[in-house]
Amino acid sequence: FNLPLKNALSNLKRSEFYCPGSILSLDIDNTNALGKSFGKQTAAYFINSSAFEIGDSNKVKSIATYAKSNALLSGWLLGEKYLNGKTALAETDYGRGKIILFAFRPQHRGQTFGTFPFIFNALEK
């Protein structure tokens, strides 16, 4: 799709960044339809996930970001500085529709009830 964003974690070595299934804090823009029904923060499950850096904020809108500091709520996280403040949920227009980009698994094994609303909000768009 040639979108103006990249995964900030993709070229890091395991000795620089490692997050083997942990719960991280997200900051949410709940004025956006994707963030409705959320407060300003929620927890998300991170396993083999991404952290987006947006190149053009006029084309891609950040809806949720990893916390700017102290993102780890439970588990283990090495190299937190590489994901702090990076985008975890984004949207962009594409033709007559939209592309919704999840950097984390909002439905991981059906156990992540805190992030399910993102899926349903995306379906309503």
Output the tens digit of pLDDT for each of the chain's 125 residues.
789 999 999 999 999 999 998 999 999 999 999 898 899 999 999 998 999 999 999 999 999 999 999 999 999 999 999 999 999 999 999 999 999 999 998 886 656 667 778 888 888 76
Q: Which two tokens stand for residue 57?
A: 């904020």
**44: domain CATH number?**
3.40.50.880
Q: How many structural domains is the chain composed of?
A: 1
pTM: 0.89
Hey, is 119 helix, strand or coil? helix
Sign of the dihedral through C-alpha 48, 33, 98, 92 = negative
Q: CB of 52 within 8 A of CB of 101?
A: yes
Contact assessment for residue 65 and residue 27, using Cβ atoms and an 8 Å cutoff: yes
Q: Which two tokens stand for residue 119?
A: 């899926």
Place of tokens 């984004």: 90
